[in-house]
Each structure stands twice: as structure tokens, then as C-alpha cells.
Amino acid sequence: MKKTLSVLLVICFLCTSLNLSVWANAQTYETFTVKDNDKVIIFPLDYQPIKYPGSSGFYLSLLPLKPIAEYFGCTYSYDEKTGNATVINPKYDHTVVFPPDGNRIIVNGVEIKNIMGEDYFYSKRINGKPYIRYDSISEFLYLKSCKWEDNALVIYDDPLIELDAFYNDFELIFEEGKRPYIEGFVYSDAYHAVVPVKQMLEFLGYSVNLDMDNKIMEIRSDKGTIKIEFREEYRRWRMNLLEYKDPKFYYNGKLQDRNTSYDLFTFQLFNRGGTLYTSISNLSNLLNNFMGQKYYTAYWSVTTGQIFWSDADYNRIKDTAKNPSFADVKRTDWYYNSVTRMVKDGLISGYSDNTFRPMENMTVSEFIKMLVVALGYHDLHPVKGDYWAKNYINKALETGLIQNGEFDNYDRPITRGEMARLIIRAEKDETAFNNWESYVSSITDDTVLTPEERETAAKIIASGIMTGFSDGSFGFRKNATRAQACTIMLKFLNKGERTPPK
């Protein structure tokens, strides 16, 4: 028994001595605190975050790969033969291998080499354990960033930057959790504004069938059918990126020659929670190739955080507004000046066939929009799928231009009397209606008007914004034309244009 105890004591002494020898030979470094947002991450005592001296004299912050990967739900493995450390993010089926040389990583089978210099490496073996630069966690974690705060490295959630989107000035409302967003690395070549494929195409008037089990997408419209066979998938080097090599494009059943367009070489999709997205450039190029012209224009603004999508018909109307010229509006027409001015100011527009249709009736909603925009509310984008004038009507109700229940049908023609009533409410200068009582007797059709209507007609005549007809009648219940509405709005906005009665 004594002999056995002696042997055990010798073994313990030898193991302790060996362990002390190993740690004596191991280099020590200054450690630092790491937080997951506000929570301190606890690391094993022999596997701490360290400050590693770089060649430039500054310390490099290194994280122990195994505990940091496992903390965030990834799996970690180490190959003793190759020295490779492997991290798998199961949520995105994303694998990153950190070879022992440290100057490269292998992401889903794609090798990425360091080109940033001596102090920029992906991993380093410290005391035999794989460490990574703190900013390398983005290689296997999605939407995570790091910053230094109160002498601690904070790993925080980096939320998606979602974008508002508009099509021909209509605001697009996407399903919850499926809004357009910025995908990729900010201010780099891989920085995309992406939209959900199916819903965006539906906003554009297409129907879509996505069958990714068979790697096929079909897009239908009144102009025909687009069919895409995605075929071979590139090895993914980024989480949630699906990139397809040499997809086949069929336009109305005809296979397209890929040499006719560089844009047909690849097609990228991004998987966000089971919804497939693609960049606005990918989608607009696809549709423009199909139509044989640059029919769609799509871009996003960094300053406003918005996507703007438009088609050629809409752009034609916008271009006309800069220098209005309509086939049915001549320079000799009495309304030429007022129509062109109102179009330039964005209060009204023509039609895609290059006509203005000046003698057509002005609707209630069209005039409400003109008046609301004239009062400075330029950014009331209608919502795609809603009634086009809904936001203008709501603003008119909010500001008191119209009253609840005042109009039972916003698509019917507006009368001259209704137009006068709204303008009087919008006019801020009460002196514009001075001495209105003296003009009541000059209205030849005042006998058919109620006392309230007589006051409205006399006030608008006194202001010089509207006049009666040559026979002295006001025509309170007559419909107003688009040309008349433009002339009236021009006078409302510009006092110098008004024609006060003699």
C-alpha cells in the first residue's frame, strides 16, 4: 500500500512539474474584457482574449476562436493533422476554415487570401490555440459588429438597414419582415440594395412562380414569359448568398444568347429568412433585356435611404414636365401659360401619349392634389394598391381644406363652386376678399344660389382668383375643366396674375 502511494505521489509530482514547465515556456499577454451587448462573456482561464503586439507598435485584439464561436451557437472542430480550425454556422449552412498559416481562410470551399499587409491576418496560433482578429468574427457571424467602449470590446447586433421603396412615385408597402434592405459590406463592391423578388415583380405588374427545388423561376406579364433555369451554383463565400453560374434565360420560349448581354452571365439571390431577394440592378437588367430596351430605371439613394424605381412611360411624363410640350396644347391657346406653369411646378401632369386633355373635366381628387401640393406638401407619395389620392385627401382633411363627408365621390368632376370654396379655405390673406358684399348684385345667376353659395361666389370674384362668364353668371354648379383649374391655380399662387373686378 505504501509503495502504491509512493508511485502515485511521484506521478503527480512529474505531471505538476511538466504542466508548470509548459506554462513557463508559454508566452503571456495582457487580456481584455469582451461583452455581448451589455453582457460580459466569460472565457476559460487558459483561453482568454489577448492583446497581441503588432509590427507597427500597436496592439492587435485577438479572440480565442473556439469559445467565441461556440458562444454564438456555431460548432467548432480542430484537425490535429492539418492544424485547420473549422467553424460552422448552422443557421446559414456556412463553413469557415482557418488554416494554421493564418493569412487565408476557406469559406464554403472558396479560398480568400489576405491582401491587407503584415498586421492583417485572419488567425494566429497563440500557445498552440487558434485565435482570430476581433473583426474576423463577421466571417462566420451574420449582422454582428465590434466596437471599443469603456475599455471593453463590445460585440453588438448590427441590424439590417431597411430601405423605403417607390415605383413611379407610389410608395411600396412590403410584407412584415420582407422590406428591401442593404445587403453586403457598406461602401464596397459587395454593397447592394436588394428587394424581395416575388413581391417586387408583383408591384411591377408581373406574376411569379419560384420553384427553387428545381431551380426554376417563371415571370409572366402581358408581354410574355421569362423563364430562368439557375443550373450550377457557385460555392458560397458569403452567408445567405446564392450565386448561379451561366443561368439559362428563356424569353417567350426562346433561349437567349448569353453573349448578347454580360448581365446574363450570373444571377445572385439572397436568402433572408426563407424569402429570396435580389439586387435592383439584377432585376432591372433582367427585365430590360427581356423588353429589348431600357424600360425600367432603378437606383437607390445613400442620403435618403430610398429605392426609386420607374418605367419609361413615367419618365417620359417627368421629362415633359421640365419643358412641357403637349400635342393638344398650342402656344396660341388661352390656357397655354397656366398649363405649362402648373406642369413645371409639379401640380399636375399630362398623359403618356403626350397629351394634356385640357377640355376634360377636373376631378375632385385631382384638384385636391393640386391644392395640397400648392400649399407645400410635395412628398405625399401615394401607396401602391391604395387609392392614388388617399394621402392628399388625408392631408386636406388634416389641414381643414375639406371636411369629413363633404364629398361622396372623389372621382366625379368638381364644380366651379366647390373649387371656389376650397380656394377660399386655402387663402391665408383675408384681405383678398374685402368688400365681397358689393359684388353679389353683379352675379346674374345669384337667384339660383343659396346665401352661402352667393357669399362663396362673391368672395372668389372679389379676390380676382376666379371670374364669371361674359353674361355675368358665375356657373356655380358647372363642371371645371383641367385648363380652367390650371388658370385658377396660377392665380391662387401668384397675386400678380389675379384679375380683380372693376
**Structure confidence at residue 96 (pLDDT):** 95
98-103 long-range Cβ contacts below 8 angstroms, 24+ apart: 98/65, 98/122, 98/123, 98/130, 98/132, 99/123, 100/125
Chain segment 330-344, per-residue pLDDT in tens: 999 999 999 999 999
| Average pLDDT for 356-374 | 95
Write the burial class of residue 258 (CB in 10 Å: 0-12 exposed, 13-18 middle, 19+ buried).
middle
Phi-psi region of 157 (alpha: psi -120 to 50; beta: other; left: phi over 0): beta
Whether the pLDDT of residue 277 is over 50: the answer is yes
* pLDDT tens sequence across 124-135: 999 899 999 998
Provide CB contacts within 8 A for 459, sequence distance 6+. Answer: 420, 424, 433, 436
Contact 53, 59 (CB under 8 A): yes
Q: Where do the structural domains in the chain lie, given as residue ranges? A: 27-157, 164-314, 323-497
Most confident of the ranges 6-20, 21-35, 139-153, 260-274: 139-153
Cell, residue 120: 492583417
Closest by Cα among 189, 208, 190, 200 to 165: 200
Cell triple for residue 412?
Answer: 366625379
Task: List pLDDT tens digits, range 198-220.
Answer: 999 999 999 999 898 889 999 99
- Residue 322 to residues 316, 341, 373, 379: CA-CA distances in angstroms? 10, 10, 17, 18
Q: If you average pLDDT over residues 162-179, what whole number do you get? A: 92
Mean pLDDT to the nearest integer, 439-444: 84
Query: Is CATH 3.30.457.10 the right assignment for the domain spanning 164-314?
Result: yes
Model confidence at 14, pLDDT cuts 50, 70, 90, reads very low
pLDDT score, position 382: 87
| Extended strands (E) in 127-211 | 129-133, 144-149, 152-157, 164-167, 170-171, 181-183, 192-196, 207-211
Which of 108, 106, 361, 82 minimizes the C-alpha distance to 243?
108
- From the list 474, 461, 392, 403, the residue with the least C-alpha distance to 432 is 461
DSSP category for residue 435: T
Q: Tell me, what's the pLDDT at 185?
A: 53
Mean pLDDT on 245-256: 89
Banded pLDDT at 441 (limits 50, 70, 90): confident
The yes-or-no verdict on residue 55 having pLDDT over 70 is: yes
pLDDT-derived band at 243, boundaries 50, 70, 90: confident
Q: Which of 1-15, 61-75, 264-278, 303-317 has the lowest mean pLDDT?
A: 1-15
Average pLDDT over residues 179-200: 77
Arithmetic mean of pLDDT over the chain: 86
CA 16 to chain CA centroid, Å, is: 62
Same fold, 27-157 and 164-314: yes
Residue 16: band (very low, low, confident or very high) from pLDDT cuts 50, 70, 90: very low
- The residue type found at 336 is Y
What pLDDT does residue 190 have? Answer: 53
Would you state the pLDDT for residue 23?
Answer: 36
Cβ neighbours for 359, distance < 8 A, ≥ 6 positions apart: 481, 482, 483
pLDDT digits (tens, 9 = 90+) for 478-501: 999 999 999 999 999 998 888 877
C-alpha cell at 97: 476554415
Distance separating alpha carbons of residues 119 and 55, to the nearest angstrom: 7
The answer to whether residue 186 scores a pLDDT higher than 50 is no
Contact between 224 and 252 under an 8 Å Cβ cutoff? The reply is yes
Percent of the chain with pLDDT over 90: 53
**For the segment 252-268, what is each residue's pLDDT rounded down to a tens digit?**
999 987 655 545 557 88
Residues 6+ apart with CB under 8 A from 392: 365, 368, 369, 372, 373, 377, 380, 382
Q: Which fold has domain 27-157?
A: Copper Amine Oxidase; Chain A, domain 1 (3.30.457)
Question: What span, in angstroms and rounded, lies between the C-alpha atoms of 152 and 237?
Answer: 30
DSSP state of 179: -
pLDDT by residue (tens digit) across 446-455? 788 899 998 9
Least confident stretch, 192-196, 236-240, 256-260, 274-278: 256-260
